[in-house]
Chain A
Amino acid sequence: MAGADGDDSLYPIAVLIDELRNEDVQLRLNSIKKLSTIALALGVERTRTELLPFLTDTIYDEDEVLLALAEQLGNFTMLVGGPEYVHCLLPPLESLATVEETVVRDKAVESLRKISQEHSPVDLEVHFEPLVKRLASGDWFTSRTSACGLFSVCYPRVSSTVKAEIRQHFRTLCSDDTPMVRRAAASKLGEFAKVLELDYVKSDIISLFTALASDEQDSVRLLAVEACVSIATLLPQEDLETLVMPTLRQAAEDKSWRVRYMVADKFSELQKAVGPEITKNDLVPAFQNLLKDCEAEVRAAAANKVKEFCENLPEDSREQIIMTHILPCVKELVSDTNQHVKSALASVIMGLSTILGKDNTIEHLLPLFLAQLKDECPEVRLNIISNLDCVNEVIGIRQLSQSLLPAIVELAEDAKWRVRLAIIEYMPLLAGQLGVEFFDEKLNTLCMAWLIDHVYAIREAATCNLMKLVEKFGAEWAQNTIVPKVLGMANDPNYLHRMTTLFCINALSEACGQDITTKQMLPVVLKMSNDQVANVRFNVAKSLQKIGPVLDSNALQTEVKPVLEKLATDTDMDVKYFAQEAISGTTGSSVLGFLTLSICWPACVQRVFRDKGLKLNNGGHMRMSAKHDLQRRGDFVQENVSAAGVLRQARMLQSLHAAPGFAVNDCLILCCCTVKVT
């Protein structure tokens, strides 16, 4: 391979190896991430005899380097020569499993669990199990906590003698001196119980579970609650009462609120695990107590579970239990002193109506809904409104509408813009349920008022709301009710309101169709091209680009094109820019927007977009629903984009700027991604 003059193919590998020790963390990290390339070049033998011993001692490095190393080693089996040699990976992972940084240890344990499956049964006993023992009896708690996560993967595949040793080690760790180890053991108790023979579950696990559940540290006791779910699932019904219930009852009344909170939080799982009989006799009173707990956190957690708990009650006695035991507590929670409790309840209480049926809902639940609709805390009211659909199915929304309206109006005018924003988002849903007449009569004014809100986010949401309303009620409704009002704002003295007209047109043109767009909207847009404020003028250019696809080609050529050409000679730089953008987008073909995207974006970016369900369609713009996906920046960083690709992206970002429904901050997010990639 290597000739007398050297081999330039070795050069990149040589760089990678040297950079394992570069002063720059980023370069070290890059090298570690390409560890498989290095190993491949070294061959399996040198990887085993030279690379791994070196890596075993690099535990001085930064956390992120160690984390990457721990992850790489989990996929290294083939690079050290296959399953036969997989045990060579144990020493570096063992030292990584003892570092102080939890994320690194956890990743090392994850990799160890992975490669344990690649060990033959013999190797597992000769190499892997001794490692678990070493970790379990290590001097420092870090190694002992790591051991806790490894018992369950080797237990099923070892001889009965070794099994007995493993059980003994686990027992020891459950009573370790340091709370961290007991916490680790408690969190793995359920997992370990699952691989144990039932007899040992009864003899060993139960006593450990009982001990951990009465540990002096509440942070240990609360983990035992989680284990309770797994253990209860494993045991036959007749053993639950004696083996599990005493501990569970004790946890539900623990003196630490954190433990009680955990019980409340896991209540549905616990309920399923112990079955209907125990639920009836034991869990119902326990749940009542949690709903009446002295700590608000516990009450809130329990309130969150009200609906699920009631749903999972045995059918024969469900209604009776709810009416006599649960509902009285719920009634008290409606007037709780803590707003988090009330809003937790408000987010699920409507769900009870489907369980209890029409008559009970009207008689017992309706007064509660109405009370919550008048609650002083906006979040409570919002949670009720956002769940209206549940009640609608049972009793029809009309029952509520008289109280609903004042609540909505009040939220719509709330001083906090986030509250206003939240209620706007429910508006289409409400409109659908209340019907067009009610809407026109009571809510239309609100929706229009939001368009001139002093907060941009509200105006933006209001615009989007109109679009959804038109999709729901149809173009004719739009033409009669909202279009005239929107177009009227084009003459508003405030330029921000005039711009809102343009934003509304952007949003509505597609839903309103060609006729309304051409005849009513287009003239207004064109007229606004003479606005004295440059911001309005360049938004005219953007709007023309946006509504282009809805217009016929005649209007494009005779009306849109001249105006854009005039704007392209505007004195303002931005107006010129966006006019030119629009011209290149509109006049080149009858299809507007980002047809060019598929040509300009690097293939890898296109792939990302496709994977994320983003459409580079001929309509041109990415849909709002895709916004959240874009915000998961990590996805972009993974992609290898060339410098040229990044430049191209940057150029596209500029034009994305012009896409409606795609706010500036989204572009910024994309920009951030781009920068990260470089």
Chain B
Amino acid sequence: STGVAGGNDFQWCFSQVKGAIDEDVAEADIISTVEFNYSGELLATGDKGGRVVIFQHEQESKNRPHLRGEYNVYSTFQSHEPEFDYLKSLEIEEKINKIRWLPQQNAAHFLLSTNDKTIKLWKISERDKRAEGYNLKDEDGRLRDPFRITSLRVPVLMPMDLMVEASPRRIFANAHTYHINSISVNSDHETYLSADDLRINLWHLEITDRSFIFEEPEDPSSRSFFSEIISSISDVKFSHSGRYMMTRDYLSVKVWDLNMENRPVETYQVHEYLRSKLCSLYENDCIFDKFECCWNGSDSAIMTGSYNNFFRMFDRNTRRDITLEASRESSKPRATLKPRKVSTGGKRKKDEISVDSLDFNKKILHTAWHPKDNVIAVAATNNLYIFQDKIN
């Protein structure tokens, strides 16, 4: 059991928070995607400013054994710049919509990052040697007399401080008419998918000027005004085992067995109490928020976000669920996260928060679960919270 609800085996506790604590949040600093790599060694975030920040897991040591959930900045780079499409008079935001790591193939790490239109393949590599010695200039850069060269020098490699470089390797552009929402790397390690509102493109990682397009015509069946919006799927994830698929719509998370396409095998309500608020959520545009969802390493639990900086976890075996909050108040080292409850009836119990006092500006859209350990990363506006389990 994963014990997402705490109790018997473990509770979630605070580990780290990244990002400034100012009340005034710069738009560019808002985190727009979070993703662990295959080993959990690296954690990448993308933000609205087009930057990618990669955190590296801190090595555990004897004197600091609790570092399992500690990540420190490894590399930061500007992945996308704002652009302007002159043909369509359209601004293209630099916001990173999605990051996907590639399975590691050599000493370097590779990831795909995308904004609305352009997908880029980045290589993150380390360098610890530097070549020294020129023929035509001295160590201090002064030029030598070219006619007084008496011997040839071949550069020598010298050790230097570790440097982490991010270099763009491929740019996959001009293939999407609508905004790219999602990318996913195939198990064959040579192709990947990118999806916009209408189409899915299939790319080869080594070919940037060609992709195959899949398009499905819209289902013309008529539906009520809100039901169409709230039933539209904001995220899809395959389980690690490959057998299940999870979809997130506005109010719920559904788990589907690939062997049975007609209905989901499990349905979890994320914030059913909002059903009566759809009208005001439409008016403040919140109804269009795209909540993502994720599996834990063993596919036994799932996590997704909500409003008021709440995020929810569901244990698939015990059917227990829990609501937790990512907040500065509980950001003390090793502090246990207290379960939160939203009151739906008239009477509000102690420790409960009423639906009407939820802050809809604070929302958790992006979360990530370490592929092996109980370490989670939760993006709340410009802050990245990292939580880990604490064995009782």
Q: Interface digits, A5-40 against B, CB 8 Å rule (1 contact, 0 not)? A: 111101101110110110000000000000000000
Stretch touching chain A among B98-106, B281-289, B317-325, B371-379: B98-106
| Residue numbers in A under 8 Å from B131 (CB-CB) | 21, 54, 57-58
A51 at the interface (CB under 8 A from B): yes
Query: Which residues from chain B sit less than 8 Å from chain A, CB to CB?
Result: 103-108, 110, 123, 125, 127, 129, 131, 134-137, 145-157, 169, 187-190, 206
Q: Give min CB distance, B167 to chain A, whole Å.
A: 9
Are A140 and B107 in touch, CB under 8 angstroms?
yes
On whether A98 and B106 interact (CB within 8 A), knowing A7-B150, A13-B152, A17-B154, the answer reads: yes
| Residue numbers in B under 8 Å from A15 (CB-CB) | 135-136
Q: How far is it, in angstroms, between the C-alpha of A7 and the C-alpha of B145 when the chains are bound?
A: 11
Q: Interface digits, A63-99 against B, CB 8 Å rule (1 contact, 0 not)? A: 0000000000000000000000000000000000011
Among A2, A100, A140, A217, point to the contact of B150 (Cβ < 8 A): A2
Are B123 and A100 in touch, CB under 8 angstroms?
yes
A463 at the interface (CB under 8 A from B): no
Q: Give min CB distance, A212 to chain B, whole Å.
A: 14
13 more contacts with CB within 8 A, not counting A14-B152, A41-B152, are A6-B147, A10-B149, A10-B152, A11-B146, A51-B154, A54-B131, A54-B157, A98-B106, A100-B110, A100-B123, A100-B169, A141-B106, A178-B103
Q: How far is it, in angstroms, between the C-alpha of A41 and the C-alpha of B135 when the chains are bound?
A: 14
Please, which residue of chain B has its CB at the minimum distance from the CB of A53? Answer: B157
A387 at the interface (CB under 8 A from B): no
Are B154 and A46 in touch, CB under 8 angstroms?
yes
A595 at the interface (CB under 8 A from B): no
Give 24 CB contacts A-B under 8 Å. A2-B150, A5-B147, A6-B145, A6-B148, A7-B150, A8-B149, A11-B149, A14-B146, A17-B152, A17-B153, A17-B154, A54-B157, A100-B108, A100-B110, A100-B123, A102-B206, A140-B106, A140-B107, A141-B105, A141-B106, A179-B188, A180-B190, A217-B187, A219-B188
A142 at the interface (CB under 8 A from B): yes
Dominant secondary structure at the B interface = loop
Are A219 and B190 in touch, CB under 8 angstroms?
yes
| Residue numbers in B under 8 Å from A13 (CB-CB) | 152
Q: How far is it, in angstroms, between the C-alpha of A354 and the C-alpha of B103 when the chains are bound?
A: 54
Q: How far is it, in angstroms, between the C-alpha of A6 and the C-alpha of B151 when the chains are bound?
A: 8
Q: How far is it, in angstroms, between the C-alpha of A21 and the C-alpha of B103 when the chains are bound?
A: 31
What are the 10 A-B residue pairs with the smallest beta carbon separation, nearest first? Answer: A14-B135, A50-B154, A6-B148, A140-B106, A142-B106, A2-B150, A10-B149, A18-B134, A179-B188, A219-B188
| Residue numbers in A under 8 Å from B151 (CB-CB) | 2, 10
Q: Give min CB distance, B313 to chain A, whole Å.
A: 31
Q: How far is it, in angstroms, between the C-alpha of A469 and the C-alpha of B1 when the chains are bound?
A: 85
Q: Give min CB distance, B22 to chain A, whole Å.
A: 39
Are A57 and B147 in touch, CB under 8 angstroms?
no
Among B104, B136, B146, B152, point to the contact of A140 (Cβ < 8 A): B104
| Residue numbers in A under 8 Å from B187 (CB-CB) | 179, 217
| Residue numbers in B under 8 Å from A434 (CB-CB) | none
A278 at the interface (CB under 8 A from B): no
Among B169, B189, B206, point to the contact of A179 (Cβ < 8 A): B189
| Residue numbers in B under 8 Å from A46 (CB-CB) | 152, 154
Please, which residue of chain B has its CB at the minimum distance from the CB of A17? Answer: B135
Q: How far is it, in angstroms, between the C-alpha of A57 and the C-alpha of B132 when the chains are bound?
A: 13
Q: Give min CB distance, B153 to chain A, whole Å.
A: 7
| Residue numbers in A under 8 Å from B169 (CB-CB) | 100
Are B105 and A5 in touch, CB under 8 angstroms?
no
| Residue numbers in B under 8 Å from A99 (CB-CB) | 106
Q: Give min CB distance, B23 to chain A, whole Å.
A: 43
A42 at the interface (CB under 8 A from B): yes
Q: Give min CB distance, A636 to chain B, whole Å.
A: 24
On whether A8 and B147 interact (CB within 8 A), knowing A102-B206, A179-B188, the answer reads: yes
| Residue numbers in B under 8 Å from A21 (CB-CB) | 131, 134, 155
Q: How far is it, in angstroms, between the C-alpha of A10 and the C-alpha of B135 when the chains are bound?
A: 10
Please, which residue of chain A has its CB at the minimum distance from the CB of B157? Answer: A57
On whether A100 and B106 interact (CB within 8 A), knowing A5-B147, A54-B155, the answer reads: yes
| Residue numbers in A under 8 Å from B104 (CB-CB) | 140
Q: How far is it, in angstroms, between the C-alpha of A180 and the C-alpha of B156 when the chains are bound?
A: 35
Q: Give min CB distance, A23 to chain B, whole Å.
A: 13
| Residue numbers in B under 8 Å from A141 (CB-CB) | 105-106, 189
Q: How far is it, in angstroms, between the C-alpha of A13 and the C-alpha of B150 when the chains are bound?
A: 12
Q: How far is it, in angstroms, between the C-alpha of A180 and the C-alpha of B145 when the chains are bound?
A: 52
Q: Interface digits, A167-207 against B, CB 8 Å rule (1 contact, 0 not)? A: 00000000000111000000000000000000000000000
Please, which residue of chain B has its CB at the minimum distance from the CB of A145? Answer: B105
Are A20 and B155 in touch, CB under 8 angstroms?
yes
Name the interface residues of A101-116: CB closer than 8 Å to any CB of B.
102
Q: How far is it, in angstroms, between the C-alpha of A494 and the C-alpha of B146 when the chains are bound?
A: 67
| Residue numbers in B under 8 Å from A58 (CB-CB) | 131
| Residue numbers in B under 8 Å from A17 (CB-CB) | 135, 152-155
Q: How far is it, in angstroms, between the C-alpha of A183 and the C-alpha of B198 when the chains are bound?
A: 33
